[in-house]
């Protein structure tokens, strides 16, 4: 028998082949829940922000079409709608506000013939900024400037029409005092509604972090606690928002 021949024992003692590659490391447990929170927040906020941006741009486009038709009333209306689609960090609302102020200034420069259009533009600014309040009026200085111009133009209009004020006094100051009052919602209810909404967001985050285990299974007691809290706060937000003017 040849010396090169291997015995059965020698065959069994041969070195093993290369080890199989180690399986890819899975995402660590501590990183899963934060990622779930990010996913939930994105699922809620991204569609809302997208709709606000799209609707605002659509209203700006409609305002430009009205401008091409020389329909200033429709242009002011669409700009007012764009102003209400407010998105933090800039958006269609900023563009709409600038264009409404430009319309008002342009028609005020025309004197009495442009008074009605200037009033309409200033009033749209006032209404639009009031409609987008959260804890306060956005662009408050521009809201106050619109109030001042509305008061001055209304005083000019009354004087031109020969309307006498029974109480006497300064017409502009009288209108400005009325315009400077912030109409509803009631501040306390409005702030409570904002707090309830914030609490609902935090409860949803806590439900994801505490109520769901690392393997995606519910922890019944914690899930029930945070789930009920989220439902209660959501209902409270809706009720406070609906009754904020009452």
Reply yes or no on whether the pLDDT at 3 is more than 70. Answer: no
Q: With b meaning 16 or more CB within 10 Å and e meaning fewer, what string describes 72-98?
A: beebbbbbbbbbbbbeeeebbbbbbbe
What's the predicted TM-score (pTM) here? 0.63
**Peptide bond just before 185 cis, omega within 30 deg:** yes
* pLDDT band per the 50, 70, 90 thresholds, residue 146: very high
Tokens at residue 148, please? 């001042």
Q: What is the pLDDT of residue 28?
A: 63
- Phi, psi dihedrals of residue 3, rounded to the nearest 5°: -65, -25
CA atoms of 104 and 72, how far apart (whole Å)? 11
Reply yes or no on whether the pLDDT at 14 is more than 70. Answer: no
CA atoms of 61 and 105, how far apart (whole Å)? 21
| Share of residues in the chain with pLDDT > 90 (%) | 26
């Amino acid at each position: 028998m040849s010396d090169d021949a291997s015995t059965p024992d020698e065959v069994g003692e041969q070195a093993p082949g290369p080890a199989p590659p180690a399986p890819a490391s899975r995402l660590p447990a501590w990183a899963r829940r934060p990622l779930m929170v990010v996913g939930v927040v994105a699922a809620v906020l991204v569609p809302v922000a997208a709709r606000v941006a799209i609707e605002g741009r659509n209203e700006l486009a409609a305002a430009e079409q009205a401008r091409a038709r020389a329909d200033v009333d429709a242009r002011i209306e669409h700009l007012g709608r764009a102003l209400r689609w407010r998105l933090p960090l800039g958006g269609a609302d900023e563009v709409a506000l600038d264009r409404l102020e430009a319309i008002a200034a342009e028609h005020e420069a025309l004197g009495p013939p442009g008074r009605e259009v200037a009033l309409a533009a200033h009033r749209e600014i006032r209404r639009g900024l009031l409609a987008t309040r959260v804890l306060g009026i956005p662009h408050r200085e521009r809201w106050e400037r619109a109030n001042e111009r509305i008061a001055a133009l209304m005083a000019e209009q009354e004087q031109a029409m020969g309307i006498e004020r029974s109480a006497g006094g300064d017409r502009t100051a009288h209108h400005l005092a009325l315009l400077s009052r912030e109409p509803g919602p009631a501040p306390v209810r409005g702030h409570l509604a904002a707090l309830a909404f914030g609490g609902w967001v935090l409860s949803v985050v806590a439900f994801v972090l505490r109520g769901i285990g690392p393997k995606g299974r519910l922890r019944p007691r914690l899930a029930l606690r945070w789930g009920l809290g989220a439902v209660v706060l959501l209902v409270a937000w809706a009720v406070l928002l609906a009754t904020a003017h009452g």
